[in-house]
Structure 1
Amino acid sequence: MNQFTRNVVAALLAVPLLASSALADTPPNVLVVAQNIDDIVAIDPAQAYEFTSSEIMANVYDRLVQYEAEDTTLLVGGLAESWETDPENKTITFTLRDGVSFHSGNPVRAEDVIFSFSRVVTLAKNPAFILTQLGWTPENIGEMITADGNTITIRYAGDYSPNFVLNVLAARPASIVDRELVMENETDGDLGNAWLNQNTAGSGAFTLDAYRPSELLRFAANADYYRGAPAMDSIIVRHVAEAATQQLLLQQGDVDIARNMTPEQIASLPDEGFEVGTYKQATVHFISYNLKVPELNNPALWEASRYLIDYDGLADTLLLGQMEKHQAFWPAGFPGALEETPFSYDPERAIQILEDADVELPITVELDVFNFAPFTDVAQSIQASFAEAGINFEITPGTTAGIITKYRAREHEAIMLYWGPDFNDPHSNAKAFAYNADNSDEAYISTTTWRNAWEVPEEMNERTMAALTEADPEVRNEMYLDLQRDVQQTAPFFIMFQGTLQIGMADNVEGYVHGASSDLVFYRLVEKD
């Protein structure tokens, strides 16, 4: 970074945001982002579990395999240049790239990989379950991950597809940290946890050279990155909680990207000088019936309900810029996603289905809904359209915590919710929407099938687990497509939409990448012309 840029960056950091009208446009080799970043609790890869923290991981750390900026749907080699799978012996052997170094200058070694995975399992923080589902424990981790020179052999205990294991290893807790640097900063046996929550020890495209909670993140380009140096010398992410302030800063030229503007603010941006990026997100939105309520345990009612939602009308009006029509449990933007949308608003067809099945109507159903927009607005629209067929929803708004607690206890009747995957593998959602091996009240499991008391047909349970173990990636994706089609047609829930995000930016910004999840936000390809 040259001295002129340093001076401008210093000014950007020093001047209060509300006085920003006095600032010049952002420098050509610095990207300035306005974003609400007060969700950050931790930035140690072994502990980080928040959206903004995930974005830090994606830009500062590498993994053995990862989804990268060039194609966020394609799993590619990261620190591993190649790998060989052995499904029979449940092993994957990785060969590390030569010549890759951490930001400290220390070489990336097999020992760093073993240390990184071991510390996640040993610390047992929030995201550790993603790795421990491979059968790893503090007691056996030394046997499950071994090294010979620059090769690393990963063993797993479950009957899993190698592709599933690779997706687990592409998740944020599988980020590789610099063992020597971390252990130099260990305190009281914490494996460097306290230090890594204020600093980073990665090998990625950027270093995090400033972190002030609820104030800013500042990234500096890694000129020696093995994929090539980023075009931007620096990325500054300013904490700006108010959407209106973000819009003001963007229009004044004080920031290049505004991440949290409302759809109304996005629509009001001038045509000249600005662009709007629309990005599919990983959340799927649905309504479900609790089958512990006898009146709702009727497949004809489920089928008719799919035709009582004005998918297109809602997506084009109330939800414009916030959600798009999507009717399958795995979100678009990931391999194996079904993008067919076979259902449309057709109340006459719904009424005929109910009449043919002699469903006793009208019925009154309590519908739990989050007590904020757009959920309350969508609920009112659905209340009106379902009433046409004699299904009368009594809308019960509630806090997020209250509704989730009720849902987990199976005490709801109908509910409007959204669901997102824990990591980028279709099994993460297939288990939630297409698997329930024990429907008893005592067998709590964090899935929408169990919470809605849907006793999934045994053959569907078997197919879900078969897809988990299928070794051929293409065959596996086809299995998930078939599962999604069957859930579309037979489940007591109806997936309606997929979340979308609109981001305002200056029209000279190119190459910003925002995939379907916060793990897939990348700055490495950004340029400003």
Structure 2
Amino acid sequence: MKLFKTALLAAALAMPLSQQALAATPDNLLVVAQNIDDIVAIDPAQAYEFSSGELVSNVYDRLVQYDAEDTTVLAPGLASEWQADADAKTITFTMREGATFHSGNPVRAEDVVFSFSRVIKLNLTPAFILTQLGWTPENIADMVTADGNKVVLKYEGDFSPAFVLNVLAARPASIVDEKTVMEHEADGDMGNKWLNANSAGSGPFALSAYRPGELVRLTANQDYFKGAPKVEGVIIRHVAEAATQQLLLQSGDVDMARNLTPDQIGGITADNIKVETYPQAAVHFLSFNQKTEALQPEAVWEAARYLVNYKGMTDSFLKGQMEIHQAFWPKGFPGSYDETPYTYDPEKAKQILADAGIETPINVTLDVINSTPFTDMAQSLQAGFAEGGINFDIIPGTGSQVITKYRERSHQAMLLYWGPDFMDPHSNAKAFAYNRDNSDGNYQATTTWRNAWAVPAEMNDKTSAALSESDPEKRNAIYVELQKEVQAKSPIVIMFQATYQVAMDKKVEGYVNGATSDFVYYRLVTKN
């Protein structure tokens, strides 16, 4: 019966839309319409796209991981426990008993050593996440070793164990089945070509089919150490057009549409369809280049915080896409600061400028990516800031043009967004609260350096202290302090956190969509 239903579904997915009006998805399968044409690679040592991140998280496990039950808690994965020695810069992991790969091979400490070494030696796009621990092709054999059912991991750098654990929860730290992978090695590629069409994981689902630009089929791992998924499988069908996704959902051909536009979301009236909203990790901000004299006074920074029409934007053209968030670490993760003390108040802004003796009007250019919603946001900022005596001359450009200008520090004001490379607060603290060397020749991929803001020494020291603090609670408290300070006094005005809306059949429950694409989970989904 299982095979029959699967075959029936495959046939239905191949039909023209005109023939699918009476189609229905099988009860034991979740069928998703999604644009997955961004996928370049699915090997966890290479995968660096949004859609591939989702795939890796459902097929592979890590030693420690943010899991479906609570995406804000770093939980045991293939390691059942660990001991950290901050002084020795060593973490010892005990492997979980009874965990197996989809091949049936047991998950061994040696598989961990192989997986980490493989990432470092292949040195593909996401490898930098692991190499920041001081790992190189030359020393990796000494830095990560197996000892029976334990993995002994060493790192270099003044890092807290909490930071290292978050690095190990990132995508390239996924554990692969060494025996299966090396059976498919070709020309010294350590199985890379094969893993970009197949899988060798231990996660809740196994990859049973992958056709680029067409579909992904996942089959439930009935032996998963946290229990078998609630559905027997997931089919992700590549549907590039949002209108087609909407049609498939409304006709019952899919259970979920992942890429509907805000207008389409707002127009849903069917009783059998619901829309869920999920906060995302990207924060959107306005920043002022400190090479521009008129933007250097702290009173300008403070006044700017009262000239953003936060609610006006989120209640209109940003509805469903963003929520008000005024701190650099996204809501929904340990260490976040979620208070939003600033509201649109032009009179207060004018008073702040007048009390500081700042003459208006101030004329400033504002660079913005020439696409929605950024152009709409820029126009709202233009109108709001004009009320306070600050005039924006909007300069639209392509994404590459705007970002290149930002990296050159040749802008005046800039409207952009920022997302972490991995879910540790330091990833954003370094970007928004650290800049010890503000010289033109010391290029840094941070918002502080790009805005030529020479961060106060005390704030730099606090950012360094948070990175090395070994007590997780104290560490998070330092990051909260940093966010309050950046929020109150910096040339960077953080305004919003992105949100993501997913339309689905009302019978679908248990879908988890965390703050990044790596935190999308299907394991708990039911179709009642």
What TM-score does the superposition give when structure 1 sets the normalisation length? 0.99
Q: Structure 1 unaligned runs (5+)?
A: none
CA contact (8 A) 2:21 2:251 kept: no
Q: Distance in 1 between matches of 2:84 and 2:187?
A: 38
Which residue is 2:479 aligned to?
480
Which residue is 2:333 aligned to?
334
CA contact (8 A) 2:12 2:23 kept: no
- CA offset at residue 22 of structure 1? 3.9
Q: Distance in 1 between matches of 2:6 and 2:163?
A: 44
How does 1:300-315 map onto structure 2 within 5 Å? 300-315=299-314
Q: Distance in 2 between matches of 1:35 and 1:511?
A: 18
Q: Deviations over 1:67-101 (max 9, x none)?
A: 00000000000000000010010111000011111
Identical columns (%): 65
Q: Deviations over 1:38-71 (max 9, x none)?
A: 0001101111100001001110000000000000
Q: Deviations over 1:156-186 (max 9, x none)?
A: 1011110100000000000000001111111
Which residue is 2:88 aligned to?
89
Q: Distance in 1 between matches of 2:50 and 2:40?
A: 10
Q: Secondary structure at the match of 1:309?
A: coil
Matched, 1:378 2:392: no
Which residue is 2:150 aligned to?
151
- CA offset at residue 12 of structure 1? 3.0
- CA offset at residue 20 of structure 1? 5.1
Which residue is 2:202 aligned to?
203
Q: Secondary structure at the match of 2:268?
A: coil
How does 1:31-430 map onto structure 2 within 5 Å? 31-430=30-429
Q: Distance in 2 between matches of 1:271 and 1:463?
A: 52
CA contact (8 A) 2:71 2:519 kept: yes
Q: Distance in 1 between matches of 2:212 and 2:400?
A: 25
Q: Structure 2 unaligned runs (5+)?
A: none
Q: Say which is worse superposed, 191-200 or 264-273, in terms of deviation.
A: 264-273
- CA offset at residue 21 of structure 1? 2.7
- CA offset at residue 271 of structure 1? 4.5
How does 1:433-448 map onto structure 2 within 5 Å? 433-448=432-447
Q: Distance in 1 between matches of 2:6 and 2:381?
A: 54
Q: Secondary structure at the match of 1:200?
A: coil
Q: Secondary structure at the match of 2:12?
A: helix
Q: Deviations over 1:310-366 (max 9, x none)?
A: 111111111000000000000001111100001111111100110111112212111
Structure 1 counterpart of 2:279, one-letter code: K
Which residue is 1:522 aligned to?
521
Q: Secondary structure at the match of 1:421?
A: coil
CA contact (8 A) 1:314 1:378 kept: yes
Q: Distance in 2 between matches of 1:114 and 1:465?
A: 29
Q: Distance in 2 between matches of 1:208 and 1:23?
A: 29
Q: Secondary structure at the match of 1:254?
A: coil
Q: Say which is worse superposed, 372-381 or 425-434, in terms of deviation.
A: 372-381
Q: Distance in 1 between matches of 2:147 and 2:263?
A: 57
Q: Distance in 2 between matches of 1:479 and 1:301?
A: 26
CA contact (8 A) 1:369 1:397 kept: yes
Q: Distance in 2 between matches of 1:21 and 1:14?
A: 9
Q: Secondary structure at the match of 2:368?
A: strand
Let me know the Cα RMSD of the aligned residues. 0.9
Structure 2 counterpart of 1:473, one-letter code: P
Q: Distance in 1 between matches of 2:194 and 2:397?
A: 39
Q: Deviations over 1:253-279 (max 9, x none)?
A: 000000000111111112411111100
Q: Distance in 2 between matches of 1:298 and 1:5?
A: 67
Which residue is 2:3 aligned to?
3
4+ residue runs over 6 A deviation: none
Structure 2 counterpart of 1:125, one-letter code: L
- CA offset at residue 4 of structure 1? 3.1
Which residue is 1:507 aligned to?
506
Q: Distance in 2 between matches of 1:487 and 1:77?
A: 33
Which residue is 2:15 aligned to?
15
CA contact (8 A) 1:250 1:256 kept: yes
- CA offset at residue 290 of structure 1? 0.5
CA contact (8 A) 1:12 1:23 kept: no
Q: Deviations over 1:346-405 (max 9, x none)?
A: 111100110111112212111011111111111111101111121100011111111011
Q: Deviations over 1:118-175 (max 9, x none)?
A: 0101111110010000000000001101111000011010111101000000000000
Q: Distance in 1 between matches of 2:6 and 2:258?
A: 24
Q: Distance in 2 between matches of 1:212 and 1:148?
A: 39
Q: Secondary structure at the match of 1:127?
A: helix
- CA offset at residue 9 of structure 1? 2.1
Which residue is 2:464 aligned to?
465
CA contact (8 A) 1:20 1:254 kept: no
Q: Deviations over 1:164-219 (max 9, x none)?
A: 00000000000000001111111111111111111111000001111111111110
Q: Distance in 1 between matches of 2:18 and 2:138?
A: 56
CA contact (8 A) 1:20 1:249 kept: no
Q: Distance in 2 between matches of 1:249 and 1:271?
A: 13
Structure 1 counterpart of 2:6, one-letter code: R
CA contact (8 A) 2:327 2:484 kept: yes
- CA offset at residue 23 of structure 1? 4.7
What TM-score does the superposition give when structure 2 sets the normalisation length? 0.99
CA contact (8 A) 2:30 2:255 kept: yes
CA contact (8 A) 2:61 2:203 kept: yes
Q: Distance in 2 between matches of 1:73 and 1:507?
A: 25
Structure 2 counterpart of 1:6, one-letter code: T
